[in-house]
Amino acid sequence: MTKSAGSIFVTAMVSGNFAVTLWHLHILQNVHPMESGGESFTLGSIVGSVSLFAILLIWTRFYKVGAWISAGLLLIGLTIGSYEHFLSVNPNNVFIMPHGDWTLSFQISAVLLVVVELLGIWAAVRTATLRA
């Protein structure tokens, strides 16, 4: 993988992760309408800010730092999301959540996040470990 190809792929995965995260948070608000939107807004803002910072670094001479930040961001999302949506016994577990209008969308977005995060981590680590 070249630096340019790695930068393009990491940018695509981090941007895709941000877009799917926003979609997932929107669905979550519809699955649990009684909860405050403040948490979703805060989480979306944090993910968006760190994503933008990492993408900007990816396209500078500090691309390795940007790649490691991207890998860290995606790893944090993968860890928290996997526990929350696949392992923990709670209403957000895709295997035990009650059926509703938004259930299938929620399940698809949770699985899609895992796929994008795994691919993004792989690409970011490969890019961060390129020989200069």
For the chain, state the CA radius of gyration.
16
Written in H, E and C, the secondary structure of the chain is CCHHHHHHHHHHHHHHHHHHHHHHHHHHHHHCCCCCCHHHHHHHHHHHHHHHHHHHHHCCCCHHHHHHHHHHHHHHHHHHHHHHHHHCCCCCCCCCCCCCCCHHHHHHHHHHHHHHHHHHHHHHHHHHCCCC
pLDDT tens for each residue of 81-119 = 999 999 999 989 999 988 889 999 999 999 999 999 999
Q: What is the pLDDT of residues 21-64, one digit of tens each?
A: 999 988 988 887 766 567 778 888 888 999 999 999 999 999 99
pTM for the predicted model, two decimal places: 0.90
